[in-house]
Every structure is written in C-alpha cells, then in structure tokens.
Chains A and B, each alone.
Chain A
C-alpha cells in the first residue's frame, strides 16, 4: 500500500483518471443505448471501438503521415484530428449498423431469446477480431504522434498536457451533443419511447427498425471517436485492443445505471478515477482488479447503478 504515492500524485492521478474515464464513457454510450433499446449486451461493441482505432490509423496513412512523422502544429493538427475522427466515426458507425443488420436483426425477427442474441454477439465479436488479426497481423501497430504532447500548465501538481485536454474536451462535447440529441429531437424521442415500451411505441407509429439502426449508428459513431481519442493517448493498436476497454466501458455503463446516458459519462469517469487511485495504492498490476471489485461492490449495494437505470425511464 503506497498511501504516500497516492497522496503526492493525487491530482495528477485524478486528471489521468478523468482522461481515460472520458474514453470509457464514450464507449459506454454504445452499450447503454443499445441495452436501453433492445435489452441486449452488444458484446461486439468492443470490436466496433477496435475498428475505430484502426480506421483512425488508416486515416493518418491516407493523409500521408508516416508512423514516425514529427508532430504537427497549429491548423494542421486540427485538420488531421477532425479528418481522422470523421473517418473513424464513419467506419465504426457503418460497422455497427452492418453488425445489427447481420447479427441481430434476423434474430429479432424470429423472436429469439436474449441468450441467443448474446451468443450471436459473441460470435460477431470473435469474427471481427479475427478478421482484423488476419488482415493487419497480430502485433501492435504504432500510431503517429499528431500533436506534440505539450505541457500546458501545472495545476495542483498535476501535469496538464495538451493531448489529455483534447481528449476530455472532445468526449464531453460529444456527450453533451448526444444528450441533447436524445432529449430534444424527434428521433431521440423515438429512442426513448422504444426504450420505455417497444410495443406501445410501435403502435404509436414509431418505426422501430429505424430507431434501432439509429441507436447502433450513434453508438458506433461514439465508439469511433473514442477509438481516435484512445489512439491519441496510447498511440498503438492491435486486433484485440477492444477487449479491456470494452469490458470496462460496460462496467462503466452498469456503474452509472445502464440505459442512462449521463450515467455512462459519470460511470466512465468514476471508473477511470477508481482504477487510477487503486493502481497507485496497490501497484499498477492491480488496476484492472480494482475496477471489477468496485463494480461488484456497487452492484451489491446499488444494483441499478448510481443514477438508476433509465433511458427516459427504461424499465418500469
């Protein structure tokens, strides 16, 4: 137990925790939305995220940036960032919609049990992982450093770095946009209606298939952006890169209350913080265990997550 370490690095750990937590939160949105609408753990969502990381990488290649390129500055950074983000989001979004079409919709039509859907999701996840392993090999692939990881300021002994600021700001902006979308638009209202009661929503004229497709699309877009942010931070990817962030994002979704959009962000950040503190306290190799122990503990005392499970009010 390194209480001294935790004490001295507290603020920098906090900052890093919020940083990685924001990425978890973005991925968690995909789980939470799909779960809210279909009551399905979209197990292949971690692979949607993985596709995002790969396409962020491909985007930099298409823009002619070699992996060893020197960091860019100024407007070039913004252009590369936005370009790679768009490519990653488009790829992940497409993948998510195709996934729903192939692996889930036929099961939905047949009224298969949720366990069957989960197995189908697992199969799809395995397929996508192996597809990328076959296509891109099984080794880590480096990602070029787009922007210099510049030291901006020291706040309360925490090193505020440019890339981390970009990550947090992007994640929070995406989250707010999504929250507004689901809360204010017609399609968002459809999503909430289906989440509350699919049958009644269908009777009221909500096109369920469209809502489901939209849900997967949004989840995919968010996962794609998360993929780019992840690449910005860790600067490499591999075919099974999605596994741990995937489980942790699901944990975050459950922690915040599944089906709850704000809960996803809260859960993500909380999980990021707790695993960072835990890692400092017990040693870095216990980081992942801290995350899961926290999950078990929270579920025991607050089985529906911190903010309660709802998308609107999902399960009444």
Chain B
C-alpha cells in the first residue's frame, strides 16, 4: 500500500516524538538520583527551618540562645569533641587558623561582595597588608600589638581606598580582574622587596602582651593557641555587631540599592561611588584586622602566606555560606576552613574533593547554605526578565545580576 504524503508525514513526526521521548527518558534516568538529592535537600530546607525557628523565638529567648552559643564557642577549645575533632592537627590551633581567621576575612569580604555586590578577587592583599604592618612595626619599631592593631586596620583601609578610588568606576568582571591584579601586585612586591624580607618574609614577630582578666590570665605564647582563639572570637563578635549596625543603617540600604541596580540607585540620588568606596574600605579594614591577628600568632610570615588561593577560599566561604548573610558567611568560612583540616588523612586529595564540593554545591544550592532573606526572595522571583527559556547564562541573569558589567 502506498502511504499518502500526509500519513508519511505523521509517521515521521510520531517516530521523532518517540525518539525524543526515549532520549528524555534516558536523561531522566541519569539525572534522577542527583535531582532527588537536590530536591530532598530543598524539601528538608535546613537553612529555612533554622531561620523560621529563630524568627519564632521571643526576643529574650533569642538573646539567651545567642549568649549560650557564644559561651559554647568560647569554651570550645577546652574540649576535644569526638566527632568534630581534627585528627592530625591540634584542635585549638585549627580553631584559630584557619577557622577563626577565615571567618574574620570572610566577614570583611562579605561587606564588599555580599552587601555592595562588588566582586573582589584579590582580598588576600588586605590581609597581607595587615600582617606586614604587624610584622614590620613589631620587629623594627618594637611597638606593642595593641598599638599596631589600629595602624594595621588603617593601612589596610587606606590601601582599599587607594585601590578603589581609580577602579571602582569599573564594573563587574573588570573590577574582579583589577582586584585580582592588585592581589598579585602586593604578593609579588612582598616577594621582590628585600627590605621587607623578600621571599623569606619576616620572623620574630612579637606576640600580644599578656592580659589579666578576672576569669583567666591570658598569656600569648607559641604553645598555647587558646588565648589567640579567644581574641579572634572577640573580634569576630565585634565585627559582626558593627557590620550588622551598618547593614541596617542608611549605608546598608545604599549598598543593597547599588547591588540591585546601580544605575537606578544613582538616579534615586544614592552617591554610589562614595558608598562603594566605603564598602571597599570597611571590607579592607576587616581584612587588615585578620592579618594583624594572624601575624601576631604565627611568629614568622612569608609572601607565600598570602597567595591568590586564599582570596579564592575567602570568596568560596562567602558564597558557600550565603552571600550577604553574616550567619551564613560564618558558617561558610567554618566549613571552608574546617573540612580540609578534618580530612587531613586524605592529605593528597582533600582539595580535589573541596573543588568537587564547590561545583556540586553551586549546582544544587547556588544561593548558599544560609542565604540572606532578600537574596532568597530574589532567587524565587522568576518573573524577572530573561527566564529559563534561552538557557544562556548571560541572558538569564541579565535582569537580576548584580555583577552586570557596564555598557560600553
């Protein structure tokens, strides 16, 4: 029998449909386990649950819980908790570095990336400036830690201004690459200048002087990391409180406006350049603080303590935890600092797994572990222009992306 043209066409179409269905089915089989994993996580939604539980508490309850958490954090190094302990390295030391220092640095970077939406790939430079300030003033001028501390913060903030003033008119990826270049410039300069130790760095950096408190006699020596840990926790708490006040002030609202839409913010009368510069300087000063603390503990620093990888780790901490939410950022930094230490027995492959975790994490939870409320709302908002239709990264995020590069 000779099929009519129409029948042939319909047979052709149905064959194609079958083929497509089979292909979709095959794909689904591959994807199913991963999707289930992602969906399970999303349904469980630990971040959201934590937040709702927290929001549900009355104010005194919140305070009590926060106070208990703070006390718990302070006494943590006195124990060697069985599961979260770090076999292979001293738990209390790990709590100071990498964890404590990472948290501090990530909190500072969060001001730049999370609040103002400026991508900084050279943040470690500010940590290096703080650390070198501590090292140089401590070994050459023999000042006390507490005298140097404000200088370290100040120098880092000033370098933030110096970097920001010419470059903050750039947007998006250009700013990212310039900051990356700045990080490399600082690292290479420290490496090349023999007057500040060159590649050998600076050693014999003084420790902070001992402090007598009603609770304890804090002696800052090499062998006991606990007083350093308490010091860094105290500074973390101060930074969190200070930044939280900033975030909820006019400055914070200006940052949000800039992050959401810089042009609109400018048109509405927000002096965007000034506030971006502020974000840079504040972020940098927290980095400087982290650097000073780091240098005062480790006795000797070299330029290789401040390599590009750290900028990346700090950024990873911010994004992993939830850019723009301080609690999330702290969690992210703890994870980033802790995991490689915890799995030291996998010494040779731990960064391999870390890299893989970052990719998987971004696929299933790009907004981070504990996203900021506003960010989460943005993520849910699918009505924004450039929906999932085109499947192009650039187009999809066109409307909502805070790192939009400026039109030429």
Contact = CB atoms under 8 A, between A and B. Distances in A.
Interface of A: 35, 37-41, 102-104, 106-120, 122-131, 133-134, 194, 197-199, 201-202, 208-209, 212, 243, 247, 250-251, 254, 258, 283, 285-286, 288-289, 292-293, 295-296, 299-300, 303-304, 308-309, 315-316
B18 interface: no
Contacts of B189: 289
A45 B294 CA distance: 33
A130 B352 contact: yes
B181 interface: yes
Chain A CB count within 10 A is highest, among B192, B315, B406, for B192
B185 A111 contact: no
A286 B191 CA distance: 10
A39 B192 contact: no
Contacts of A212: 392
B362 A119 contact: yes
26 contacts: A39-B405, A40-B393, A40-B394, A41-B173, A109-B391, A110-B363, A111-B382, A111-B387, A111-B396, A112-B366, A112-B397, A113-B366, A116-B362, A122-B312, A122-B355, A128-B355, A134-B349, A198-B394, A199-B386, A202-B390, A251-B177, A286-B192, A289-B188, A296-B178, A315-B405, A315-B408
Nearest to B198: A285
Nearest to B386: A199
Interface of B: 113, 119, 166-167, 169-170, 173-174, 176-178, 180-182, 184-185, 188-189, 191-192, 308, 312, 315-316, 319-320, 323, 348-349, 351-352, 354-359, 361-363, 366-367, 382, 386-397, 400-403, 405-408
A115 B177 contact: no
Nearest to A105: B391
B358 A122 contact: yes
Contact of B362 (A117, A202, A209): A117
B352 A198 contact: no
A194 B393 CA distance: 11
Closest 5 CB pairs of A and B: A123-B358, A127-B355, A126-B355, A198-B395, A116-B366
Given A118-B176, A299-B170, 14 more contacts: A39-B393, A109-B391, A111-B396, A112-B366, A113-B401, A117-B362, A127-B359, A128-B355, A198-B392, A247-B180, A251-B177, A289-B189, A299-B178, A303-B169
> Per DSSP, are chain A's interface residues mostly helix, strand or loop, or mixed?
helix
Contacts of B174: 254, 299, 303
A128 B356 CA distance: 9
A181 B20 CA distance: 31
B388 A109 contact: yes
Contacts of A112: 362, 366, 393, 397
A127 B352 contact: yes
Nearest to B189: A289
A252 to B, nearest CB: 11
A124 B397 contact: no
B182 A296 contact: yes
